[in-house]
Amino acid sequence: MGTSDDVGWLPFAEATIKPEIEVPDGDRLWKGSVSLPEDRKPGQFRLLIEELETYQSLEPGKQTRDRVIFAETVEL
């Protein structure tokens, strides 16, 4: 497929993602909508959701780094 990862995933630049944050009853709720082409085939797209944590780096020249602390995929 010409990809560099093990599962052949490619980013889809035409998708529009609009995340929203609500705080009902003091709990943070992340939600959003994704717009994809209408002519897509079932299972053709997957949404990757990641939660990243920023931490202080020990590497010379880098002050902070990100690491994935949660990841999930949803077939669209």
Dist. CA 66–CA 10, nearest whole Å:
21
Q: Give the C-alpha distances (Å, rounded to integers) separating 66 from 11, 41, 54, 57, 63.
A: 20, 34, 4, 9, 11
Tokens (6 digits) for 6 = 């093990």
pLDDT tens-digit readout, 29-75: 777 777 788 888 888 888 888 888 999 888 888 788 889 999 998 88
8 belongs to a structural domain: no
1 belongs to a structural domain: no
Residue ranges making up the domain that contains 64: 16-75
Tokens (6 digits) for 41 = 């085939």
Dist. CA 49–CA 36, nearest whole Å:
16
Q: What total number of domains does the chain contain?
A: 1
5 belongs to a structural domain: no
6 belongs to a structural domain: no
Please classify residue 45 by burial: count the beta carbons closer than 10 Å to its beta carbon, then call 0-12 exposed, 13-18 middle and 19+ buried: middle
pLDDT at res. 33: 77
